[in-house]
Structure 1
Amino acid sequence: MSPAKIPWWRSLGSRIALAVVAVTLAVLLPVGAYVDYQAAVDARERLRADTLNRLDTASALFRSFGQLRYSATTDPALVPTELRRVAVGQRETYFDGDTMWAVERLSAEQILAVNTGAATLQQQRAQLERSLGVAGLAAAVLGGSLGWLAGSRLSRRARRGAAAALRIAAMEPGVTATQPGRDEVAALTRSVDQLADALNGRIDRERAFTAYAAHELRTPVTALVSAAELLGEDEASRLVRGQAGRLRVLVADLLEISRIDSDEPAQLTPTDAAEAVRASLAGTGISGLVRLVVASSGPVLVEQRRLDRVLANVIANAHRHGRPPVVLTVDRAQITVEDHGAGFPDWLLSGGPRRFGADGPTRGHGLGLAIAQAQATAMGGGLSFSNPIGDDGSVSGARVTVTLAEPATAPSRDGVVPVRPSAT
């Protein structure tokens, strides 16, 4: 997936912010609950002490003057049941959630009780809980924001590195993925550049070997083919000629690959699409292998030699791996070659042709479509692959669509438009 397509809720910054908020809440919730519990216990003990002080004063006044003060009562019916069995001379307290009671048994028949409401205590606890909630929310928001800022910076560096890695994978020259810093992202992007350098070095060595092998094999293979033509018509001779012919085609393809890898610029000339296709079919001698259909035509930019190779390879692949009839359709800048075989394999549809990645009932060396795609790209166009579906819902063949560039501006005085091929 491209880094630009990653939704924000899956980004590294969002996950770090969420993790910071989760850790903050995980710490604050038990701490807040403990603080709230301890504050409630402390407030209840202060209320108990205050009520006992009031009981002391009320008891002294009642014993000395027989007066009931501080909301004191001697009516046992008003005293909570839990305090009515207090022994003579003993004191007890009881909190029912709303009121703190304190009682003293004056005699077997008489009990003195005072009470203090807990409304103030409840208000203080509610205020404390609100304060703890606001503080916790503020801490979570602050922590999440700081986590988002730190994570977003880290995410931006990772996205830049990933985008650069995609450009490196597309063989774009002069691109590096290394990001500044001394953390894991910087180390990872440096490793990507090191890997890319190693792979590019290996590719350069393979290209050099391919070019060297193709040039060195061209002369002996030509001699071998010429010698094979002098053999008789027996089965062994035909086998030798056939294998020599395959070797000649392989060497020709390797030479073509070395030319493509050398980034030789294409010399494009404006011409009519249908006329260019007819010239290719006639020049390569494959006009009898396809049925040509011209739906519409128009001006395109082509280099005839490259177009010849594109059409020859695509049509040869259709006959090698598909079934006739093979139909070539020209529709302005789009040229479609369609056979009626089993279709392309899934790996080719998803990733395009690979060098030496042949497949099918008749296996080749896997360079034909790769060369065709590279040559079409060099002319500013491209190749696309699909499997058309028949009326019965099954694959009815393989289809290759060659897209050519159309002249957007007037050509130069000599009619040639130079275009440097893209990296393949």
Structure 2
Amino acid sequence: MPRGAEAGHGALARVRAVLNSLGLRWKIAALLAAGCAVVAVAIGLLVHHARLDQVTTSARSGAVAQLVRIRQLYELSGQVDQDQDDGTDAVLDDPRLPAPLREAALAGQRTTYLDMASDDPCVWAARPVGDHPRHVLSVRESLREQADEMAEFDRKVIVSGAVVVGLAALGGAGLSSRLSRELRTAAAIARRISQGDLDARIDHPRPSRGQHGRNEVAELATAVDTMAASLQQRLEAEQRFTADVAHELRTPLTGLHTAAELLPSSRPTELVRDRVCALRTLTEDLLEVARLDAEVEKPDLSVHPLGQLVTDIAEKADAACAPVGTVGETFVRTDARRLERILTNLVANAHRHGGAPVEVRVDGAEVTVRDHGPGFPEHLLADGPQRFQTGARGQGTGLGLTIALGQAQVIGARVELANAGDGGAVAVVQLPKA
């Protein structure tokens, strides 16, 4: 690729990088200013050339008129009057005469020559006089005043163009600031909705029938609000269904549990009692999930020594895990009953889906539950626990981690799930210090 092409591609790449680094408001302002600059340059060039044509045409006509007058005087008197009141130089066979003009004059033509590029701009007019030998009568008229006038005219055009471009940039920034602000508001509301705040709304005025297809921001805001309302309705319907199912199951399950207790002792009776107990546990879990979804749970917070509290919880759970390891003793402000629910579910999940040994460790205000099994699935780490989605072996109901994370939110704690580098799942509960 030629060097010029490479330089052009590099310049375009730099321009793209600069535009990509700008916000929408400044992009619109920059593009509007660039468009106005192109228009201003085009108009300036047209006006400049029109004015230049006007000046040069007038200068050529004036030089020709002077040449005609001086030729008439020359034919009458045989002399060239070199002292002109208007500053025109009339000379016979002037050595300064441009070569093209001299050649055209000797060829029998009356012509003009314009020189605007030199330090002393001027216009020449020349024609042949005499027969043998032929002489060239020329007139030189200075255009310094016209050149200064053109320079001043160009400066005014450039200043005017710069003012127009600046006003266009300011106007573009002002007009696009509202658009940018509305888009940022829509993005902020969308983020709030994605984080679970389903009551968030943009509340942008809806476009009228005649405005459809014209106000894209209003249509976007309406679409986001409609999506949020639809999502909220579906989630509320799901929550009501879960709560209603769990509530309706409690009464028949209580009766079924009572009836199972009246059965004579046998292996089938034990199986029935075990399944009834599992159904009762599932029903209570569903009710707990429904309460967490409704955000009606209120924690009973108090100050506890975390190491001792976790040790008591592990002993009460009677879980086959290693002794609790404690590094330092830190006091935390938490709900002991809900923390017990969180740790019990995490330990039970580690035993059910992980591998022994299951370790519980307290370090400051953090409680770590780790197993030595295959670890959490990648989809769980990416998307979080999903209801009724069990482990690889399909055991359990898939509500344990959901309840643990929900109860942690109630008490102001945070649960982070990860996989250890040497294998095994790791769940870390971070509690607020007292």
Task: Give the TM bin, normalised by the shorter chain.
Answer: 0.7 to 0.9
What is residue 281 of structure 1 aligned with on the other side? 314
Unaligned runs of 5+ in 1: 1-6, 391-395, 408-424
2:349 to 275, 296, 317: 317
When residues 356 and 19 of structure 1 are mapped into structure 2, their CA distance, relative to the original with a 3 A threshold, is farther
State how 1:325-336 maps to structure 2 within 5 Å. 325-336=357-368
Tell me which residue corresponds to 1:54.
Answer: 66
- The correspondence for 1:72, drawn from 90, 95, 103, is 90
Q: Which moved more, 1:132-141 or 1:69-78?
A: 69-78
Give the letter aligned to residue 126 of structure 2.
V
Structure 1's 194 and 50: CA in aligned 2 closer, same or farther, altered over 3 A? same
Letter in 2 for 1:272: P
Kept in 2: contact 1:9–1:15 (CA 8 A): no
Q: What's 1:107 paired with?
A: 130
Task: Return 115-124 or 55-64, whichever deviates more.
Answer: 115-124
Pick closer, same or farther for the CA change 1:299–1:78 going to 2, 3 Å. closer
**8 Å CA contact retained: 2:260, 2:272:** no
Q: How does 1:210-249 map to 2 (within 5 A)?
A: 210-221=242-253, 227=260, 233=267, 247-249=279-281
2:26 pairs with 1:14: yes
Q: Distance in 1 between matches of 2:128 and 2:264?
A: 136
CA contact (8 A) 1:292 1:329 kept: yes
Q: Deviations over 1:377-404 (max 9, x none)?
A: 11121212233334xxxxx332211122
Q: What's the counterpart of residue 16 of structure 2?
A: none
Cα-Cα RMSD:
3.1
Separation in 2, partners of 1:317, 1:348:
13
Give how far 1:245 is off: 5.9
Q: 1:225-246: CA deviations, max 9, x gaps?
A: 7749978659xx9987776665
Measure how far apart 1:77 and its partner are.
4.6
Which of residues 21, 27, 48 in structure 2 aligns to 1:36?
A: 48
Match of 1:416 in 2: none
Change (3 A) 1:60 1:239: farther
1:380 paired residue number: 412
Moved more, 50-59 or 357-366: 357-366
Name the residue aligned to 1:414.
Answer: none
TM-score by length of 1: 0.82
> Greater CA deviation, 326-335 or 164-173?
164-173
2:298 to 236, 245, 265: 265
Distance 1:284 1:215, change over 3 A: farther
- Matches of 2:75 and 2:307, distance apart in 1: 125
Following TM superposition, by how much is the alpha carbon of 1:172 offset from its aligned partner in structure 2, in angstroms?
A: 3.9
Paired letter, 1:107? G
Which residue in the other structure is 2:3 paired with?
Answer: none
What's the secondary structure of 2:300's corresponding residue? strand
Alignment of 1:153-302 (within 5 A): 153-172=178-197, 175-179=200-204, 183-221=215-253, 227=260, 233=267, 247-262=279-294, 263-286=296-319, 288-302=320-334
Query: In the aligned structure 2, how far is the partner of 1:136 from the partner of 1:191?
Result: 42
> Is the CA contact 2:104–2:111 (under 8 Å) kept in the aligned structure 1?
no
Letter in 1 for 2:412: G
Determine the C-alpha separation between the residues in 2 that align with 1:363 and 1:198.
33
Counterpart position of 1:410: none
User: Residues 129 and 29 of structure 1: is their aligned pair in 2 closer, same or farther, counting only changes over 3 Å?
Assistant: same
Aligned length: 393
Residues 1:144 and 1:365: Cα distance change in structure 2 (over 3 Å):
farther
CA contact (8 A) 1:253 1:367 kept: yes
Of residues 213-222 and 48-57 in structure 1, the stretch that sits farther from structure 2 once superposed is: 213-222
User: Over residues 106-133 of structure 1, what are the superposed CA-to-partner deviations in whole Å (9 max), with x where a residue is unaligned?
Assistant: 2231221112234333333332222222
Which deviates the most, 317-326 or 206-215? 317-326
The alpha-carbon deviation at position 145 of structure 1 amounts to 0.6
1:45 aligned residue: 57
Question: Structure 2: which amino acid aligns with 1:48?
Answer: R
Whole-Å separation in 2 of the counterparts to 1:157 and 1:278: 53
Verify the 8 A CA contact 1:100 1:116 in the aligned structure 2: yes
1:86 partner SS: helix
Q: 1:116 aligns with which of 135, 141, 144?
A: 141
Q: Which residue of 39, 44, 62 corresponds with 1:27?
A: 39
Work out which structure has the larger RCO, using CA pairs closer than 8 Å and 6 or more positions apart in sequence.
Answer: 1
- SS at 1:72 equivalent: strand
Change (3 A) 1:56 1:192: same
Structure 2 CA distance for aligned equivalents of residues 93 and 153 of structure 1: 60
Q: How far apart, in 2, do the equivalents of 1:243 and 1:113 lie?
A: 122
TM-score, normalised to structure 2, is 0.80
State the secondary structure of the residue aligned to 1:102: strand
SS at match of 1:67: coil
Shift of 1:360: 4.0
More divergent stretch after superposition (66-75 vs 47-56):
66-75
Native 8 Å contact 2:367 2:429 kept in 1? yes
Distance 1:144 1:244, change over 3 A: same
User: Cα 1:231–1:177, aligned 2, differ >3 Å: closer, same or farther?
Assistant: farther
Unaligned runs of 5+ in 2: 1-18, 83-87, 208-214
| 1:140 Cα deviation from its structure 2 partner | 1.0
